[in-house]
Amino acid sequence: MPIYALYALLFADSGLSDASISVLLAIWSATAVVFEVPSGAIADRFSRRSSLVASGVLQAFAYAAWVLFPSFWGFAIGFVLWGLGGTLTSGAFEALLYDGLAANGDEAEYGRLNARVDTIELVSQVPVAVVATVLFSFGGYQLAGWISVAMCLLSSVIALRFPEPPRESAEHQSYFATLRTGLREAVPIKRAVIAVALVYAIDAFEEYFTLLAKDWAVPTVWVPLATIGVPLLGAAGASLGGRLPFRGWVLFASGAVLILAAALAVPVAIVLLGLFYGLYRFVLVQIETELQHRIESEARATVTSVAAIGSEFVAFALYGLWVLGSAFAVGALILVVAFVVRRQ
């Protein structure tokens, strides 16, 4: 979405401080904490495809709120709507993908396909960054926002065409029985769930990439293009995550690179920011794949949502660290997470 490359700048240019922006991101995470697991059970009990459709609509309303009401409360409403939409996607997409492969006996291919999906998602940010720059030049944040609304609605139309394998046992369970099944299954595989929660939370730092570029003396209009290499390196890491075995030192290396970039704090440090992101995405693909292989029940979206809700709690710490110590503190957090994950 074009507005995604600009929204942190929109908040800053609307007069919000770093602390206010972190509060908004915390509201986003709090919404996910409340609705993450219940929405996962909705996808398991009813329809994962319908959850994806509803997610796009809610995200469209979120961006519309930002354009129509560019203030703290307008942004907060938008984040609540986006948070609701995000919980409907989280878990539902992974479950739809994994079960679609399993229906044909191809679940062993999930790791490669998940890596490919992550790669495409990240690479697509490049043309979106170019589009965001053009839209901002001609129509500012409003034009970028309304184009993003239209793209979200289009994504919902596309989601309507996704195939969804039948799940007979889910149809004979109540919503609360499905919820209990997912929560029970998360217990015996808690190590994999915790690993995903800790590592996935680091992705919240992506919300600050544009602010980092601005702090590192990149003019606002050029921020989307200046950070264009970050998702490309992230895509490279994700693609390798589906092919190479996991190594515990990789996450340590990503945290160290981020700390070095923060120490330099100049435009060229964005290259190191991209390297950090590539190493991180390599690890993320690996642990997400491991979790999906360990889930045995049909409450797959619910179990995945349990991991996602854990990540939101860690994300709160990341938002606070940004206010206290910017990228330095976030890099230190990643080193701690790397130590914990390595011991899982």
Reduced to 3 states, what is the DSSP secondary structure of residue 244?
coil
Q: Which residue in this structure is represented by tokens 């790669």?
A: 119
Q: Which of 272, 274, 195, 193 is nearest to 238 (CA)?
A: 274
User: Quick one: pLDDT at residue 179?
Assistant: 76
Any idea where the domains of the chain sit in the sequence? Answer: 2-342
Half-sphere exposure of 273 (CA within 13 A, CB side): 29
User: Quick one: pLDDT at residue 181?
Assistant: 76
User: Quick one: pLDDT at residue 203?
Assistant: 87
User: Quick one: pLDDT at residue 284?
Assistant: 92
Q: Which residue in this structure is represented by tokens 């039948």?
A: 166
Q: What is the spatial distance between Cα 323 and Cα 19, in angstroms, rounded to a whole number?
A: 6
What is the mean pLDDT of each successive set of 10 residues along the chain, which is 344 residues long?
Answer: 83 88 86 85 86 94 94 95 90 84 82 84 81 86 93 93 74 74 76 88 86 85 81 90 73 94 91 94 90 81 84 83 82 90 67
User: Quick one: pLDDT at residue 72?
Assistant: 94
User: Quick one: pLDDT at residue 277?
Assistant: 95
CB 194 within 8 A of CB 310: yes
User: Quick one: pLDDT at residue 247?
Assistant: 67
User: Quick one: pLDDT at residue 210?
Assistant: 84
User: Quick one: pLDDT at residue 65?
Assistant: 96
Q: What is the spatial distance between Cα 71 and Cα 15, in angstroms, rounded to a whole number?
A: 9
User: Quick one: pLDDT at residue 344?
Assistant: 55
What is the four-CA torsion angle of 60, 62, 68, 69, rounded to 10 degrees? Answer: 180
Q: Which of 269, 25, 7 is nearest to 132 (CA)?
A: 7
User: Options 1.20.1250.20, 3.10.180.10, 3.20.20.150, 3.30.2290.10; which CATH number does 2-342 get?
Assistant: 1.20.1250.20
User: Quick one: pLDDT at residue 37?
Assistant: 84
Which tokens belong to 40?
């996962």
User: Quick one: pLDDT at residue 177?
Assistant: 79
Residue 2 DSSP code: G
